[in-house]
Structure 1
């Protein structure tokens, strides 16, 4: 017992420096952003003509974003007029959630298909696995410029299909272009994580299912999906959190304007910082952090995303496996 306690203390001392560094690197920016979100932005003092610190602002910045509450020049509180950055908040939230749901769904389906293909044994499998990862390895800025060229007014898509779609100005066409580009780039990432889960499934499980007469469709739904679910949910979790922070792809492909049809909430943060409203941008960053934290909590708590890696094939009840083991034991008895 004392030996275990000593080992635990030694392990704690060994990992303490890394935990302290992580706390400083990760924790300080979060706490600093939360602190700044409750401070007013610098303002011009009309008496002296000098910029002064705003002081404590309370929840003003959060109400500015959530309820479009602005302070008029006369000092009264009213709804923000059109053109103010806060009026673009809820449209940006809807667009961000729309991008997240659509892209993650399509990437999960394509990633599963690619992972199922790559897990098979065939000549050139290593080359196929390497080729599939090329879109994911390309920097996002390069990907955005590539697809911007493809979706140009006289680009490859319009020339190939003899159309005149305004992919960069029409709202739904622009959103579709961003979705296509994002799915093309990130589906290989989903495939890589799902493939890792498929590699952990023992081949004996499928042999047992074939002995029971299960079809390939039954094997997929009753064996592959239940056993690959932990890896699949982790892939969906990572991709969802990444999609909620989408910024560079729509900015480079379509527009950096906050009222563009593809503007996301991350674009509003950058635009607010460009207007020197660092404290209100900190409040919006905090709202994004809370949104991402809530989504991660729901997926881990209720949807079965196993980020700890403790749940796997071991301990799961697999259809047909017990019967397969009985057949193997009978065969061994016959041979003996």
Structure 2
């Protein structure tokens, strides 16, 4: 007991410097952003008409985003008129969630297919794995410019399929273009994580299932999915959190305007900072942080409650396995 206690203290001393650095690098910006979110931005004082420094604002910055609450120069609080940045908040939230759900779903399906193919043994498998990772290795800015050329009015897509679609101006066409570009870039990331989970599955499990007469679909659904679930959940979690922070791809590919059909929440933060509203931008950043934290908590708590996958493996058995074993034992007894 004394030895284990001393080892625990030694381990604590060893990781203490790293924890201190993380607390400074990660903790301070978060606390600073929360503090600034409760401060008012510089502006005109309705009483004096002078330009004054902002003081304590309470929840005014949060109400500005959540309820479109604005204050006129005369000091009257009312709903923000069209054109104010806060009016684009809820549309950007819906667009961000739409991008997250669609892209993560498509990337998970394509990533699983790619991982299953790369997990097989065939000639040139190493070359295929390296080629698959190229889109993920390309910087996002380069990817956005590449797909911007492809979806241009006289780009490859319209010329190849003889179409006349305004991919960068039509709302749903622009969103579809962003989704295609994001899936093309990030599906290899999902495939890489899922492939790591597939390679951890013992081959003896599949050999035993084939001996028991399990079909390929039964092997995939009752063996592969439960055993690859830890890696799959990690991949889905990372991609979901990354998709909620999407910024550079729609900005470079479509438009940096806050009222564009592909505007995400992160675009509003940058746009608000460009207008020198750092405190309200901090409030919006805090809201994004809370949204990402809530999504991560829900996914870990409910989708990843049995992240080991052992319960699913134990509770799922290949249909007919017991009957086949009993038949084989009966044949052995008759032969004996």
- Pairwise CA distance, 1:311: 2.7
Aligned to 1:161: 161
For 1:226 and 1:51, locate their aligned partners in 2 and report how far apart those are by CA, in whole Å: 62
Is contact 1:96–1:265 with CA below 8 Å preserved after alignment? yes
DSSP-derived class of the 2:299 partner: helix
Aligned to 1:9: 9
For 1:163 and 1:284, locate their aligned partners in 2 and report how far apart those are by CA, in whole Å: 40
Going from structure 1 to structure 2, the CA distance change for 1:214 and 1:260 (only over 3 Å counts) comes to same
Is contact 1:234–1:305 with CA below 8 Å preserved after alignment? no
1:250-273 Cα shifts (integer Å, max 9, x gaps): 000000000000000000000000
Going from structure 1 to structure 2, the CA distance change for 1:275 and 1:311 (only over 3 Å counts) comes to same
Aligned to 2:333: none
Number of residue pairs the alignment of both structures matches: 322
1:311 partnered with 2:308: yes
- Pairwise CA distance, 1:50: 6.9
Aligned to 2:92: 92
Is contact 1:69–1:80 with CA below 8 Å preserved after alignment? yes
For 1:38 and 1:214, locate their aligned partners in 2 and report how far apart those are by CA, in whole Å: 61
* TM-score, normalising length: structure 2: 0.91
Is contact 1:230–1:305 with CA below 8 Å preserved after alignment? no
* TM-score, normalising length: structure 1: 0.91
For 2:59 and 2:121, locate their aligned partners in 1 and report how far apart those are by CA, in whole Å: 59
Is contact 1:41–1:53 with CA below 8 Å preserved after alignment? yes
Structure 2, unmatched stretches of 5+, are: 330-336
- Pairwise CA distance, 1:206: 0.3
Structure 1, unmatched stretches of 5+, are: 331-336
Is contact 1:237–1:305 with CA below 8 Å preserved after alignment? no
- Pairwise CA distance, 1:17: 0.4
For 2:86 and 2:211, locate their aligned partners in 1 and report how far apart those are by CA, in whole Å: 62
Matches within 5 A, 1:105-254: 105-254=105-254
1:71-115 Cα shifts (integer Å, max 9, x gaps): 012211100000000000000000000000000000000000000
1:260-302 Cα shifts (integer Å, max 9, x gaps): 0000000000000000000000000000000000000000000
For 1:291 and 1:67, locate their aligned partners in 2 and report how far apart those are by CA, in whole Å: 17
Superposed CA RMSD in Å reads: 2.1
Is contact 2:135–2:184 with CA below 8 Å preserved after alignment? yes
Is contact 1:201–1:313 with CA below 8 Å preserved after alignment? no
For 1:57 and 1:191, locate their aligned partners in 2 and report how far apart those are by CA, in whole Å: 47
